[in-house]
Amino acid sequence: MVKGFSDNEVNNTQNTQIKETKKEKKGLAGFLKGKKFTYTLPGKKQINIFGSIVIGLNMILVLLVILYLKNQDFHDFVFNVGR
């Protein structure tokens, strides 16, 4: 006999009663109930693309903040558009 197992059978009648009392899932949870999703790690190319996008957008943000603080015309434009 393998360690951790016994010769006695387990009575599963209580487990089936618990499953029957659970409510049926509705909406998205009910739709995804039978689906199996697997997560795969992104590849090196995909990581580089997303990293480049994030760094590029951060650089644009920094340039706009500097322009906002240094250029009065741009500051007035942002202030008026924001109303």
Residue 57 belongs to a domain: yes
For residue 35, what pLDDT band results from cuts at 50, 70 and 90? confident
Mean pLDDT of the chain, nearest integer: 79
Q: What is the pLDDT of residue 33?
A: 75
Residue 21 belongs to a domain: no
The pTM score is 0.51
Total structural domains within the chain? 1
Residue 18 belongs to a domain: no
For residue 82, what pLDDT band results from cuts at 50, 70 and 90? confident
In Å, what is the CA distance from 30 to each residue of 12, 33, 35? 25, 5, 10
Domain that holds residue 61: 42-83
Residue 30 · residue 24 · CB < 8 Å: yes
Residue 1 belongs to a domain: no
Averaged pLDDT, 3-28: 59
Residue 50 belongs to a domain: yes
H or E segment to which residue 48 belongs: helix 44-70
Q: What is the pLDDT of residue 40?
A: 86
